Amino acid sequence: MSEANAQAIANQPLDGEPAARVLVAGATGFAGALAARLVWRHPRLQLVAVTSRSEAGQRLDDIYPRHRVPLELIELDLAQADEIDAAIVAYPHGAAAPVVAELRGLGAQVVDLSADFRLRDLPEYERWYGPHGEPELLEGAVYGLTELNRDAVRTAELIANPGCYPTCSLLALAPLAEAGLVEGVVIDAKSGVSGAGRGAGEAMHFSNVGENFKPYKVTGHRHTPEIRQELRGMGARGPVTFVPHLLPLDQGLLASCYVTLSRKVEPDELRALYEERYAGEPFIELADAPPTVLDVRETNVCRIQPVLADGGEQAIVFAAIDNLWKGAAGQAVQNLNLMLGLGETEGLL
Amino acid sequence: MSEANAQAIANQPLDGEPAARVLVAGATGFAGALAARLVWRHPRLQLVAVTSRSEAGQRLDDIYPRHRVPLELIELDLAQADEIDAAIVAYPHGAAAPVVAELRGLGAQVVDLSADFRLRDLPEYERWYGPHGEPELLEGAVYGLTELNRDAVRTAELIANPGCYPTCSLLALAPLAEAGLVEGVVIDAKSGVSGAGRGAGEAMHFSNVGENFKPYKVTGHRHTPEIRQELRGMGARGPVTFVPHLLPLDQGLLASCYVTLSRKVEPDELRALYEERYAGEPFIELADAPPTVLDVRETNVCRIQPVLADGGEQAIVFAAIDNLWKGAAGQAVQNLNLMLGLGETEGLL
Amino acid sequence: MSEANAQAIANQPLDGEPAARVLVAGATGFAGALAARLVWRHPRLQLVAVTSRSEAGQRLDDIYPRHRVPLELIELDLAQADEIDAAIVAYPHGAAAPVVAELRGLGAQVVDLSADFRLRDLPEYERWYGPHGEPELLEGAVYGLTELNRDAVRTAELIANPGCYPTCSLLALAPLAEAGLVEGVVIDAKSGVSGAGRGAGEAMHFSNVGENFKPYKVTGHRHTPEIRQELRGMGARGPVTFVPHLLPLDQGLLASCYVTLSRKVEPDELRALYEERYAGEPFIELADAPPTVLDVRETNVCRIQPVLADGGEQAIVFAAIDNLWKGAAGQAVQNLNLMLGLGETEGLL
Amino acid sequence: MSEANAQAIANQPLDGEPAARVLVAGATGFAGALAARLVWRHPRLQLVAVTSRSEAGQRLDDIYPRHRVPLELIELDLAQADEIDAAIVAYPHGAAAPVVAELRGLGAQVVDLSADFRLRDLPEYERWYGPHGEPELLEGAVYGLTELNRDAVRTAELIANPGCYPTCSLLALAPLAEAGLVEGVVIDAKSGVSGAGRGAGEAMHFSNVGENFKPYKVTGHRHTPEIRQELRGMGARGPVTFVPHLLPLDQGLLASCYVTLSRKVEPDELRALYEERYAGEPFIELADAPPTVLDVRETNVCRIQPVLADGGEQAIVFAAIDNLWKGAAGQAVQNLNLMLGLGETEGLL
């Protein structure tokens, strides 16, 4: 470790002894960089290294001044990983699995931001993402949608952190699906540009995206099987249609979910269903007006409004998150907090 | 008429004798101002007056430099309206009807941009908009969605120019609805800010709208009965759900329409349905990729892509327009061209 | 006080006993609302009331969900102000002075966000802002540009919190001005839309501001005398030209300052001048690359880069702040921290 | 030529016989694509080919649906160039010169959008851009800032089309410079993102540019020598400082020019200077209020407001253009019109 990094890490402000020493692998993408910032500012976690495959040697705060993480990026060197208690891995799909496997082999608790451990059905994974490098780890991975899976997260060693679209859609739909009320759903989802990642290239050029709006990957987005898997697991029936659209803004995701109900529902019942399901949840807000993406920007909150239509035969549920926070790095830290026995909201308020 | 206006009008560039002398009433709103520009630049129409209730005395090109209409706004004076052959009325709902009635009484052909003559069912109109001032004109009014109603438009004296959301949604759905294939539809629509009009106030303040996105008027937008009336008229069955959302951009509207089909449809059949229905249409583009709002910005084009989902049991149709052009002033000129026996695309390319 | 407010205030999370009970008067404007949020989340300050003249009775988190201040707005009632140790006043210019006077009369320490106590020359104030209601308070007011006036701030009872443009421009120029090097300066400044305030009306309609850019108040912006007063006080000579421009973004302000130097300066000297002047400053960042407004968004940081041009005869200094933070509410809390003997950065990181 | 292209070209709408057959070389960059659209819609020019080095085989209207040029891109084949009367070359700097030379060798009139023929001083060119491939053509090239050089443009065979920043800055400053009144100038210029070109990569990613603003290439932008050369040629004295900034919008450029005057000037004199200099200019607008970039978007207009400051010792001149129109492709067509003896505004209104 460089002298400068060692000194910066020693000066990292902490509340007493750190609960864990944390590595962020792949810290130059949008989600990885935010994860590094969240860990750096976390009162109980010590950020001990940020890695990059192509930008090692640069300082993270030169690439992202706004995150203010004063560490030099290094290449991932697992020989030194014995100093690590936990890791957030922000590698591309496919590239993540081998790194996760090695980190697990060294005993580190891992939150993986990629899709590599989200789909329990290996052939389904390989259909959407190609060959899987570490299929034997699939069984032990916990799908880290915290609010829907909190107990399993607490005892997990490997978290498959959910995709941004699934996080928002599933939080919107879980109360209805678990109650057996979903007979079919159309999810019309809209995401800001940061969801496409830093390396998105010309497609995300301002001139193509600004003042523009469009659907994309209309019948084949990779988050579709993830949404279906979880909705089925909660008891939803009928067709699941998911269409993503690209918004001319940076961070923010809103899902408009149109649910064909299995029976007529009254407004009071609908409201009660959501209030009970999410009672005491620190990061869920139920709103009386439509949520907006600015309401949740730079927060780990999911803000939800359920309403009825078609005389109670249809529910429309709107949910908004910040795709980089609750849809990626924020939820990763939320999960890490639980895995380490810390307060769930620490470092996230 | 002021000397300056008389001189400007005399210098208006035209191809020979004008086919009609046109008034734009209410020219300081977004749609009215664009209508004034389109008439001003039209090779066969002479713009003879632009009126405003609260900004008379100002020049239109001081309020909207980009439209470059060098006329002073005047108060509407129907005593002088015998010099007018046709009018585009861009008044608010409710305020339009009396002005339209007077202009009709003077023999002018009228395209009305308001909702006042769109709904054929008077009680339905009054439920959404309040008392109707001129119900006796309803019967003679023609719903001016040009592509769906061209023959009636040609002989109309009074056009109810469609709303922006109905224009886009109905063009997206007509081929399926007319073929009897629609058993229910969810229309998830997204519009730029200009659709809310110039007087929208704090709700459209940049700080509330920029980098933001949200649904609004979720279960009660006034375009809902207009969409339902026309879809039913085309033969659509089942529930019609319409939810508008507000995009952080100025001009542009995209509708994502999720159709429950009455029977399974094959891709070739779907494509053929749209190609046949819209063969030769100058302002309809069928696309192989999702349309974007930039594709149609500052044009009168509606760009459409139909696709199948759920194994052919569901159709998803995307359509994009510029809400101020095809969704308002552009379609108004398109209709006026037909009413006056001019080429449908004159002044619009 | 309502039961709900009392309960919310009792539940406000604090680190031990609060150092002061704080009122935010005028909490529904952009700066006042942010001030309320900063105080609400501050570990040592207890937010005891948020007031509004026209929106009393509403909850602040209904108007600004993203600030998450769960208090009902009340009308300002100074009869109850004995429970207040300090106040941040976010009233319009002219309206602030009387409220400040009353609060001071009750013994509260006050940070005033308006211009009412910034200009030491009464005639100059009245030329730009109209009659001054409380001129006798002018002498005791401290101009709260913290980095340039820290000692006076510590002992102040009334802070005139600087304008956003002056904050950014003066921090950019102070090292040169104090060194006697400024013989004239052009300040070409660009601000996001939030600087115009919530009540800005049609001028800040998204359709007028989005995808647009323009200079405004070209030869008569009210921040000009404030900038001149302070620059002269620091020793700057020669003409001071200040031109503001409006950026199509919400929060962020960047000043490009072109300084005619009184003598040729070398790069090392320039750099040293800034490093020495701002050594140890928690909210000043000196950058090697041009600062951007995103670098400082939602922070209290001023990020500065000085460079030389014209062979060392001219300095160009770029500075960026968030106009609502360092340019208004953030600096207000920074000042309040000092006035109360708290750590300068508490509640601001 | 492909059958499809031949047919499309034959169907291109024209007013009678074309005045010239025009090639657009490099039609997939932002400026080249707009040039192709302008020629395609031009009533007197026949677009006979659009070329691309890396995207030959694709249709231009698949890459840019909004430009609606229904031609397949081909590789440039000069063996077929005898069918060409004129060409607009939109290649990168350095790559343009050899192509221009070949086209000139075949007798085609050429408007070159690159910098290759803008700087009359070869060493200066090579300092900024590297080795020049065709220095012998420099002498015959005409700097195509139409309003300042109209007579030379009319008889030119090779036009060096000016850069976007120089176009805007020089039009703002010419009346003062030609009158011998400029003793020094600071040009603080701001451009939309499209100015950086289509291939700009990560720097123009929406997430880096949206809601952001920054200076760039602060002391070394390539347009600096071009601006200096022309200002000196017009008689300007003293230091010329030019700093570009990047706006979060697509098309639009505004220059704020701060001029140290050689003597005190009165408001009437200033106004008269501009009115006389630009009398009758079809694309220059003098405004009484600050110009905005929306005022000129998608037009070939330069909108200018000159004002006085510092008691008449300083002039501030604001000018706005659309960087892709008057700053590139629009001015190219304006020049081509003159070279071919057509009306200067044809195809540009």
| Ramachandran category for residue A162: left, alpha or beta (phi over 0 → left; psi -120 to 50 → alpha) | beta
A294 shares contact with chain C (CB less than 8 Å): yes
B109, B340 Cβ separation under 8 angstroms: yes
Distance in angstroms (rounded) separating the CA atoms of residues C290 and D194? 20
Token representation of residue B20 = 């009609």
ipTM of the complex: 0.97
Asked if D218 lies within 8 A of C318 by C-beta distance, the reply is yes
Distance in angstroms (rounded) separating the CA atoms of residues B254 and A269? 33
Distance in angstroms (rounded) separating the CA atoms of residues A248 and B343? 37
- Flag whether pLDDT at C83 surpasses 90: no
pLDDT of residue D83: 86
pLDDT of residue B164: 98
Q: How many CB pairs under 8 A join A and B?
A: 124
With contact defined as 3+ CB pairs under 8 Å, the chains touching B are A, C, D
Q: Tell me: the pLDDT tens digits for B81-121?
A: 678 999 999 999 999 999 999 999 999 999 999 999 999 99
Asked if C66 lies within 8 A of A287 by C-beta distance, the reply is no
For chain A, which ranges sit under pLDDT 50? none
Distance in angstroms (rounded) separating the CA atoms of residues B211 and B130? 35
Using alpha carbons, select from A253, A270, A230, A251 the residue that is nearest to residue A147: A230
Q: What is the DSSP letter of C81?
A: G
For chain D, which ranges sit under pLDDT 50? none
pLDDT-derived band at C199, boundaries 50, 70, 90: confident
Buried b (16+ CB within 10 A) or exposed e, C260-288: bbbeebeeeebeebbeebbeebebbbbbe
| Cα distances (Å, whole numbers) of residue C173 to A207, C231, D258 | 35, 8, 18
Token representation of residue D187 = 């040009």
D213 shares contact with chain A (CB less than 8 Å): no
pLDDT of residue C238: 97
Contacts of C194 in chain B (CB under 8 A): 207
A67 shares contact with chain C (CB less than 8 Å): no
Token representation of residue C315 = 């300095």
pLDDT-derived band at B145, boundaries 50, 70, 90: very high
Q: Residue B258, class by beta-carbon neighbours within 10 Å (0-12 exposed, 13-18 middle, 19+ buried)?
A: buried
Contacts of B309 in chain A (CB under 8 A): 219, 239, 241
Asked if D310 lies within 8 A of C239 by C-beta distance, the reply is yes
A250 shares contact with chain D (CB less than 8 Å): yes
pLDDT of residue B201: 79
Q: Which H or E run contains A252?
A: none
Sheet order of strands, D214-215 included:
D214-215, D240-246, D182-191, D253-261, D314-321, D302-309, D284-286
With contact defined as 3+ CB pairs under 8 Å, the chains touching D are A, B, C
Q: Tell me: the pLDDT tens digits for C61-75?
A: 999 999 999 999 999
C89, C31 Cβ separation under 8 angstroms: no
Token representation of residue B214 = 């949200």
In sequence order, what are the residues at sequence separation of 6 or more whose Cβ sits closer than 8 angstroms to the Cβ of residue C268? none
Would you kindly state where each structural domain of chain C is located, as residue ranges? 3-140, 165-323
Distance in angstroms (rounded) separating the CA atoms of residues B174 and B277? 9
Sheet order of strands, B158-160 included:
B45-51, B20-25, B86-89, B109-112, B158-160, B142-143
Using alpha carbons, select from C252, C140, C222, C235 the residue that is nearest to residue C185: C235
Token representation of residue C243 = 């031109």
Q: Is D56 helix (H, G, I), strand (E, B) or coil?
A: coil
Find the angle CA(D305)-CA(D309)-CA(D314) to the nearest 5 degrees.
90
Q: Which H or E run contains B51?
A: strand B45-51
Token representation of residue C51 = 């007031």
Asked if C213 lies within 8 A of D290 by C-beta distance, the reply is no
B319, B304 Cβ separation under 8 angstroms: yes
- Least reliable range by pLDDT among A318-322, B197-201, C285-289, D316-320: B197-201
The domain covering D3-140 belongs, at the CATH homologous superfamily level, to: NAD(P)-binding Rossmann-like Domain (3.40.50.720)
Contacts of A303 in chain C (CB under 8 A): 65
Q: Mean of the pLDDT values across residues C236-253?
A: 98
Helix, strand, coil percentages, rounded to 5, for chain A: 40, 20, 40
Which A positions 68-107 lie with beta carbon below 8 A of chain C?
none
- Least reliable range by pLDDT among A216-225, B240-249, C195-204, D258-267: C195-204
D42 shares contact with chain B (CB less than 8 Å): no
Asked if B213 lies within 8 A of A254 by C-beta distance, the reply is yes
Active-site residue numbers of A? 164
Which B positions 128-187 lie with beta carbon below 8 A of chain A?
186
Asked if C186 lies within 8 A of D258 by C-beta distance, the reply is yes
Using alpha carbons, select from B13, B198, C279 the residue that is nearest to residue D349: B13
Q: Which of A34, A295, A296, A302 is the best residue to mutate to test the C interface, defined by the most C CB atoms within 10 Å of its own CB?
A: A295
Asked if C66 lies within 8 A of A294 by C-beta distance, the reply is yes
C216-220 long-range Cβ contacts below 8 angstroms, 24+ apart = C216/C244, C216/C245, C216/C246, C216/D290, C217/C244, C218/C243, C218/D290, C218/D307, C218/D316, C218/D318, C219/D307, C219/D308, C219/D309, C219/D316
From C239, C248, C256, residue closest to D188, measured CB to CB: C256
B42 shares contact with chain D (CB less than 8 Å): no
A42 shares contact with chain C (CB less than 8 Å): no
Token representation of residue C126 = 């009245």
Active-site residue numbers of B? 164
Distance in angstroms (rounded) separating the CA atoms of residues A334 and B28? 52
From C210, C211, C294, residue closest to A66, measured CB to CB: C294
B228 shares contact with chain A (CB less than 8 Å): no
Which fold would CATH assign to domain B165-323? Answer: Dihydrodipicolinate Reductase; domain 2 (3.30.360)
Domains C3-140 and C165-323 share a fold: no
Distance in angstroms (rounded) separating the CA atoms of residues A163 and A114? 8
C284, C304 Cβ separation under 8 angstroms: yes
pLDDT of residue C82: 72
